[in-house]
Amino acid sequence: MNDLRPWLEYLQEIGVRELAAPAPRAASRPVRAAAPAEPARSTAGRSRRAGRTDPARQRSHAGKPATTASPRNEAPSTALGNGADAELFAAFDGPPPEDRAAALQVLREELGECTRCKLHEGRSKIVFGVGDPCAGLMFVGEGPGADEDRRGEPFVGRAGKKLDEMIVAIGLSREQVYIANVVKCRPPQNRDPERDEIATCSPFLTRQIETIRPKVIVTLGSPATRLLLDTRVGITRLRGTWHQFRGIPVMPTFHPAYLLRAYTKENRRKVWEDLRAARSRLDS
């Protein structure tokens, strides 16, 4: 019960007055991993918005988390989608749409001028996230680059322009989606965020997802994909296939920065297919 206390306090803080009782659970069943090397994982979740009847979410109601144990003998998993967190995530609908902007603001204030991990040492600005607090589609990248660090906004450099093009290509605008990163401060020399940094910062991403409750998440590149899917399988194998994060459909695709570096017809086609699949899922 102690594990749940901080979550309940958070829910209270963001204005949740009551928790929806979880639907009676049918016999527990494991969730099929979509990638061969990916361990079975929790996908408990539920459709949260009126009119949304996504079958993937409905299916996930019936099953408790398949397993939370990591077979790897290493540091604790930084995965976000298992354990008591997932149970609680499945049990409430999130703040009502009209309260989501305020809830994100509360979260931003809680983050403050964060010094929780060593990435604070080199940053200029925290890059929290941007977009529609009620977005149906959420993009998750790995961390800010130089332009983002200067401006305090995600995906505003060359890669950001490419992401904007990708968003427009599926008939949406930047203002209609939500964009966030796994870590909120720029890693030195744009290196990948390290395990301890991800473990420290990613709870804020979880809470952004909890608040926004997107219908579809698109992960951009390996770090975001590995975190949300709790896997070490590379993005090349995972992209183009559906996965879940706490019942929310997740489509991994290449990071726009990678796409710019390897701007081949084949890679452009793959990213387009991934985004088109995400758009279809969003419309379903």
Which 8-state DSSP code applies to residue 37?
T
Which residues have a Cβ under 8 Å from the Cβ of 56 and sit 6 or more positions away? Answer: 242, 244, 247, 249
Number of residues this chain uses to bind ligand SF4 (CB under 6 A): 14
Smallest separation (angstroms) from ligand SF4 to the CB of 125: 10
Nearest to 93 by CA among 213, 10, 248, 215: 213
Smallest separation (angstroms) from ligand SF4 to the CB of 104: 15
Smallest separation (angstroms) from ligand SF4 to the CB of 181: 9
Separation of alpha carbons 138 and 214, rounded Å? 6
Helical ranges in 130-264 per DSSP H: 146-151, 158-169, 195-212, 222-229, 235-238, 256-261
Nearer to ligand SF4, 84 or 114 (CB): 114
Nearer to ligand SF4, 140 or 201 (CB): 201
Q: Which residues 93-112 are close enough to bind ligand SF4 by CB under 6 A?
A: 111
Helix (H) or strand (E) holding 139: strand 137-141
Nearer to ligand SF4, 153 or 273 (CB): 153
Q: Which of 114, 176, 237, 272 binds ligand SF4 (CB under 6 A)?
A: 114
Q: Which residues 169-208 are close enough to bind ligand SF4 by CB under 6 A?
A: 183-185, 197, 200-201
Structure tokens at 279: 């758009």
Separation of alpha carbons 75 and 72, rounded Å? 8
80 binds ligand SF4 (CB under 6 A): no
Nearer to ligand SF4, 101 or 114 (CB): 114
Separation of alpha carbons 263 and 267, rounded Å? 7
- Write the binding mask 115 to 134 for ligand SF4: x where contact by CB under 6 A, - elsewhere: xxx-xx-----x--------
In the complex, the residues that contact ligand SF4 under the rule CB under 6 A are 111, 114-117, 119-120, 126, 183-185, 197, 200-201
